[in-house]
Amino acid sequence: MGGVTLRLDDLPLRDDLRGLVPYGAPQAPLPVALNVNENTHPVPEDVADDILDSIAQALREINRYPDREFTTLREGFADYLGHGITREQIWAANGSNEVLQHVLQAFGGPGRRAFGFSPTYSMYPLLTRATGAEYVSGTRESDYSLSIESAVRQVEEVDPDILFLCAPNNPTGTPLPLEVIEAVYAHSRGIVVVDEAYQEFAPRDEPSALTLLPGRGRLVVSRTMSKAFAFAGARVGYLAADPALIDALRLVRLPYHLSGLTQAAAVAALRHAPTMLGMVDEIVAQRDRISATLDALGYLPHETSTNFVLFSGVEDPAATWSALYERGVLIRDVGIPHSLRVTAGTEAESTAFLDALASV
């Protein structure tokens, strides 16, 4: 087909979107892909069979709109999270990014401000600006931690409408003590979002921000099935909050935003939560092995409570990334000087990365 080819700048794009770059991570058909923090373990066969059976059953009613309130799925998430959480406190969408987008649509927008402590998840500013709000970046300590004093001071200075706390933090892996969350919540007036996408990889005795929900109506705790549940391709994220806050999200969601097939797949996966989470211990073991070996190789692996390791001491990150790429290993340059990030994969994948890095 022929036609006029325009440049992006020729279109009547919103002024606040001009110059922005869409989110993206390199995708390449390499043997070992450890760049986007996926759970590289396949879904166990018996679980996959049950998921397929559930999807097949949902297909028989695919001519009808799905349950708009995804009631069964919300009940499944409430049971999984525990802590006395009910389905009225649960919201879900197509990945945790859409969950966060709903929060921004309801409580952000033009004339409002969101805030996060950099470096942190790169989608926070992109989602914020796409909804017309302003994003402000704060700072962390040299080891990427957050002290109560520094966090409270910065929050009070910025006075954000929405505050993002990534716990554990992406891309650094840094844990976030509950005391910091409590302090910044007490010194803020806006919505406080605690992004626990990697919480399942934290030590078992490390409490979740879910324990802070009672009595805190502006607190949101978001999760995802992409990481620990090996469900990245299914695109299912969710959050827990006060029922009134859940009602606010209904004002901005699209009708029937979760397909019947997505709901069926997620409900089936939750039925097998212990099996799905059985991979977590192996991933944590490979993560710790990677950290120990990186240290032995002379790099600086940072403390992590996630399924990935950020390591510094890389003289030329671009050259090292390219050398690993040539050896069939894909990791991530997240833009932190002299640093790279690698996902903990299977034992074979982790070994391939470590051998390739040693050869570099």
Taking only the tens place, the pLDDT of each residue in 51-106 is 999 999 999 999 999 999 999 999 999 999 999 999 999 999 999 999 999 999 99
pLDDT in tens, 135-162: 999 999 999 999 999 999 999 999 999 9
- Supply the DSSP string of 237-300, one letter for each residue: EEEE--HHHHHHHHTTSPTT-S-HHHHHHHHHHHHTHHHHTHHHHHHHHHHHHHHHHHHHTT-E
Q: Which residues contact 129 (CB under 8 A, 6 or more apart)?
A: 16, 17, 20, 135
Give me the phi and psi of 113, to 5 degrees please. -135, 135
Q: Could you tell me which of 78, 72, 38, 24 has the C-alpha nearest to residue 306?
A: 38
Strand partners, 162: 114, 191
Q: What is the pTM of this model?
A: 0.95
What Cα–Cα distance (Å) separates residue 147 from each residue in 136, 152, 158? 19, 8, 17
pLDDT band at 177 (very low <50, low <70, confident <90, very high): very high
What Cα–Cα distance (Å) separates residue 291 from each residue in 32, 262, 323? 18, 36, 20
CA distance 133 to 158: 14
pLDDT in tens, 251-303: 999 999 999 999 999 999 999 999 999 899 999 999 999 999 999 999 999 99
12 secondary structure, DSSP code:
-
Rounded to the nearest 10 degrees, what angle do helices 123-130 and 96-107 cross at? 40
Domains annotated on the chain, with CATH = 25-43+277-359 (3.90.1150.10), 45-271 (3.40.640.10)
